[in-house]
């Protein structure tokens, strides 16, 4: 991630300072602070009901924080109504104006600012051209496909050259194929316009693919803020470890291991070795399926501290994302491991014996 | 294939009440009135075909002035009803929730459990010289003497707006209810003021409801009889009174029939003009109502 606005006096586009939002006694957003740099693609990732929508509505100006401050380019937005903020939002339902044509949808914001009708129309059609909808200005929004509607919703914001564009799960309503395509397209749009994007989603793959930085949110709080790689490889909390990406998860008693790592004793008595801070208490151990090495011959896994023998209980074929569930003695649940489709094990069948192993570095241990 | 005649017969039976209703109660009397309106009395009990009844309307200023007055007042009443009903419908559709919403609609409906005549008599009790409003004004010392609020255009308009309000609120609230909240929020988010959002998003969305409500209220107002007669007295001068007078007082049925036809033409023409002006089609409007 680069901070493109380093030459400016204000080096952040958005700052939230100890923002809390209470509905009655329930804190939907609980003491959240973060900053977004200019040109950054920042995602807030969390399960439904974690408060991310409330957070976004506060930035847009539809809700007021109970306490804390929201600043855009250093100016506090408290008390500034939604229509006066340099922030525009792409709604989950897109919320295009059905009573207007595509061109009028895009020109709407400009005409609200007092731009003349002719100039607004001109700028709107130029913006439509930039998002690949040249000549669509006269069409009804109801006559567009899902992907085209998406682009109109984004064009309608970008034409106003806002400091910040908020996106509230705009890909949720699209089918899988189009969603994959729009992920890439959104990322490219953001890069071409170099506008700061704040994106909220419950879909970890959307967040991982598009974001420069991700905040993982749970029960109104930020669990961790970091780059997709940081979150994936170095989760700070058990919630992040299990929410971001696929993972194996085991419960056990941790104890400090002699080599500086942590060993976890599973209820069955099996001991596994990993990295973490926990000692002498109930712990959770996480291992990514792709970190688990598979071999038919145990000697191939010779150097690994964690080595077990098991039997394939299911083959989950999904092309490049295929994986195996391996019934392993000592583990309550089957071990999940990525099955490379190019390797010698590609044709493995249910019931086949197999050896699994992983390094201590691949296993993260957290106190519960 | 063998079942087709059976289905046809069932369809015919199901449609029969509606067809009979339309045919016997609406089409047939109108044809009868149309024929009647073209008959002139040439001698006692002798009638001949002619346009005399329609010529009479244009040559006698009282008739066409009453006619024009009815049209203009009805448009005014419709516009006033729309302006009054819009915020109420907006509140019912967008703000009120659950039980409150049902309660508010019920409150709008409540006056219609009483017959129109009784409601209008109620207004008379309030507005007449010896009525409640006049008494209260005198009792509180705001006026020296009793005031007559009845028998003027204001009283007629008040009564007609009151009678039309519900028929405006229901289609309006229906139309406004289907407006997605996010669309309104998007209107603000992109920089729109309250006025811009109302003018460019809420009103265009509610247009089918506005037109449907306006047509209903206009029709009810133009064809109203009791309210202008009772609240307007001899100053009421509503065109339906002329029709009544021709049929009942003068016993000149052909003249009354011609007036009836003219009123039908007038309301159809104004509804057509209204639809053209707002760019709505009758089909979408009827769906909203």
User: Domain segments of chain A: what residues?
Assistant: 14-239, 247-367
Contact A225, A34 (CB under 8 A): yes
Cα separation, A71 vs A17, in Å, equals 8
User: Predicted confidence band at A3 (pLDDT cuts at 50, 70, 90)?
Assistant: very low
Containing A69, the helix (H) or strand (E) segment is: strand A67-72
Chain A, window 154-193: residues with a beta carbon less than 8 angstroms from a chain B beta carbon: 156-157, 160
- Which fold would CATH assign to domain A14-239? Rossmann fold (3.40.50)
**Closest residue of chain B to A166, computed from CA coordinates:** B189
Q: CATH top-level class for B55-288?
A: mainly alpha
Determine contact, residues A356/A302, Cβ cutoff 8 Å: no
Q: How confident is the model at residue A6 (pLDDT cuts 50, 70, 90)?
A: very low
Average pLDDT over residues A89-108: 92
The residues facing A29 across adjacent strands are: A21
Residue A191 CA to residue A367 CA, distance in Å, equals 40
Task: Check A62 against B186: CB less than 8 A apart.
Answer: no
Do the domains A14-239 and A247-367 sit in the same CATH topology, yes or no? no
Give how far Cα A96 sits from Cα of A93, A129, A141, B71, B238, Å. Answer: 8, 18, 7, 40, 47
Chain B positions in Cβ-Cβ contact with residue A167 (cut-off 8 Å): none
Q: Which residues of A touch B188 (CB under 8 A)?
A: 61, 81-83
Chain A residue with the nearest C-alpha to that of B197: A112
CB spacing of B183 vs A113 below 8 angstroms: no
Q: In 3D, which of B94, B102, B96, B100 has the Cα closest to residue B182?
A: B94
Q: Which residue of A has its CA nearest to B196?
A: A112
- Nearest by CB to residue A109, choosing from B183, B190, B204, is B190
Please indicate whether, in this complex, the C-beta atoms of B186 and A82 are within 8 angstroms of each other: no
Residue of B nearest to A59 (CA): B189
Tell me how far CA of residue B157 lies from CA of A76, B110, B229, B274, in angstroms. 52, 21, 12, 20
Average of per-residue pLDDT across A136-148: 89
Residues across chain B: 289
Q: Are A327 and A334 in contact (CB under 8 A)?
A: yes
Tell me whether A88 touches chain B (CB under 8 Å). Answer: yes
- Among A297-306, B78-87, B174-183, top mean pLDDT goes to B78-87
| Separation of alpha carbons B79 and B145, rounded Å | 34
User: Is the confidence at residue A17, as pLDDT, over 90?
Assistant: yes
Q: What token pair was written down for A15?
A: 């700052």
Lowest mean pLDDT, pick from A258-262, A327-331, B36-40, B218-222: A258-262
CB contact under 8 A, A81 and B204: no
Residue of A nearest to B183 (CA): A95
Q: Which residues of chain B have a CB within 8 Å of the CB of A84?
A: 191
- Is residue A120 within 8 Å of residue A103, measured between CB atoms? no
CATH code: domain A247-367 is 2.40.50.100
pLDDT computed for residue B120 by the predictor? 87
Residues of chain B positioned with their CB less than 8 A from the CB of A62: 185, 189
What is the residue whose two structure tokens read 């229509």?
A83
Min Cα distance B101 → chain A (Å) is 23
Residue A174 confidence (pLDDT):
80
Kindly calculate the radius of gyration of chain A based on its CA atoms and give it in whole angstroms: 25
Whole-number pLDDT of residue A91:
92
* CA dist A330 → A99, A306, A356, B219 (Å): 63, 12, 13, 83
């Amino acid at each position: 991630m680069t901070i493109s606005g380093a030459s400016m006096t204000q080096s952040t586009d958005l700052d939230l300072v100890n923002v809390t939002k209470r509905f009655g006694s329930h804190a939907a957003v609980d003491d959240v602070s973060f900053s977004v740099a200019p040109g950054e693609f920042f995602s807030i990732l969390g399960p439904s009901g974690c408060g991310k929508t409330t957070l976004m509505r506060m930035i847009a100006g539809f809700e007021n924080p109970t306490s804390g401050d929201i600043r855009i380019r250093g100016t506090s937005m408290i008390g500034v109504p939604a229509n006066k903020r340099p922030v525009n939002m792409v709604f989950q339902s897109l919320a295009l104006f059905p009573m207007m044509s595509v061109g009028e949808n895009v020109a709407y914001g400009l005409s609200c600012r007092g731009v003349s009708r002719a100039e607004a129309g001109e700028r709107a059609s130029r913006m439509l051209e930039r998002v690949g909808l040249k000549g669509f200005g006269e069409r009804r929004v109801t006559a567009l496909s899902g992907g085209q509607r998406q682009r109109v919703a984004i064009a309608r914001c970008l034409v106003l050259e806002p400091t910040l564009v908020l996106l509230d799960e705009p890909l949720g309503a699209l089918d899988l194929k189009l969603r994959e395509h729009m992920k890439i397209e959104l990322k490219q749009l953001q890069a071409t316009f170099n506008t700061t994007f704040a994106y909220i989603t419950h879909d970890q793959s959307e967040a991982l693919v598009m974001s420069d930085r991700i905040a993982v949110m749970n029960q109104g709080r930020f669990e961790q803020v970091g780059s997709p790689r940081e979150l994936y490889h170095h989760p700070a909390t058990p919630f992040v470890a299990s929410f971001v990406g696929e993972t194996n998860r085991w419960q056990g008693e941790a104890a400090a291991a002699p080599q500086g790592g942590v060993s976890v004793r599973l209820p069955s008595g099996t001991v596994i070795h990993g990295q973490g801070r926990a000692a002498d208490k109930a712990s959770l151990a996480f291992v990514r399926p792709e970190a688990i090495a598979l071999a038919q011959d145990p000697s191939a896994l010779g150097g690994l501290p964690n080595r077990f023998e098991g039997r394939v209980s299911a083959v989950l074929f999904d092309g490049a994302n295929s994986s195996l569930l391996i019934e392993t003695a000592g583990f309550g649940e089957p071990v999940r491991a990525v099955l490379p489709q190019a390797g010698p094990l590609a044709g493995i069948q249910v019931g086949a014996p197999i050896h699994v192993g992983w390094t201590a570095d691949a296993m993260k241990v957290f106190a519960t | 294939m063998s079942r087709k005649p059976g289905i046809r017969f069932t369809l015919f039976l199901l449609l029969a009440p509606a067809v009979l209703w339309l045919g016997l109660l609406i089409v047939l009397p109108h044809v009868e009135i149309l024929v009647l309106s073209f008959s002139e009395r040439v001698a006692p009990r002798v009638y001949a075909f002619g346009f005399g009844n329609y010529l009479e309307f244009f040559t006698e200023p009282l008739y066409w002035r009453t006619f024009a007055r009815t049209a203009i007042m009805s448009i005014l009443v419709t516009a006033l009803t729309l302006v009054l009903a819009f915020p109420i419908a907006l509140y019912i559709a967008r703000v009120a929730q659950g039980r409150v919403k049902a309660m508010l609609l019920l409150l709008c409906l409540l006056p219609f459990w009483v017959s129109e005549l009784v409601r209008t008599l109620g207004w008379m009790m309030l507005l007449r010289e010896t009525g409640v409003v006049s008494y209260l004004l005198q009792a509180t010392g705001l006026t020296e003497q009793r005031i007559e609020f009845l028998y003027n255009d204001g009283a007629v308009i008040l009564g007609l707006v009151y009678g039309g309000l519900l028929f405006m609120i229901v289609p309006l609230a229906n139309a406004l209810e289907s407006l997605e909240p996010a669309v309104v929020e998007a209107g603000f988010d992109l920089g729109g003021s309250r006025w811009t959002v109302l003018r460019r998003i809420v009103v265009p969305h509610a247009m089918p409801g506005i037109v449907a409500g306006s047509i209903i209220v206009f029709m009810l107002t133009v064809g109203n009889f009791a309210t202008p007669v009772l609240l307007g007295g001899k100053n009421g001068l509503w065109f339906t009174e002329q029709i009544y007078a021709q049929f009942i007082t003068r016993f000149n049925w052909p003249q009354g029939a011609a007036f009836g036809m003219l009123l039908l033409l007038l309301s159809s023409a104004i509804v057509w003009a209204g639809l053209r002006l707002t760019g709505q089609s009758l089909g979408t409007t009827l769906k909203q109502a």
